[in-house]
Amino acid sequence: MPQDFKGPPKYASPYVHAQKDSSYRDDLFSVIYVFAELLMSRLPWAGESKENMGAYKDRVLNGMESLIPELLYVIFHIFYHKIWMLLLLLLSF
């Protein structure tokens, strides 16, 4: 962790754990982690040491980079079908 790092490491981005320069992206990671904790009631890396948290988050981040196109495809199709269902519902009245 950088010397000037403040806050709990469970909300820190993988880039902060790797001691890279902080930016707005790290704030976005923190917000995502807070929302994830609210939804799941516990983050998967809670209770790990600082070093293990960073390694765990790095593995997840590297795995997600390969999944992003697939996730976007699934999200697009979900919304596409929901829009058609909504239009059909509205047109049936």
15-33 residues labelled b (16+ CB within 10 A) or e (exposed): bbbeeeeeeeebeebbeeb
In this prediction, residues 48-60 reach a mean pLDDT of 82
pTM of the entire predicted model:
0.60
- Position 51 scores a pLDDT of 79
Query: pLDDT category, 2, cuts 50, 70, 90?
Result: very low
CA dihedral 57, 42, 35, 67 (to 10 degrees): 40
**Contacts (Cβ under 8 Å, ≥6 apart) of 44:** 56, 60
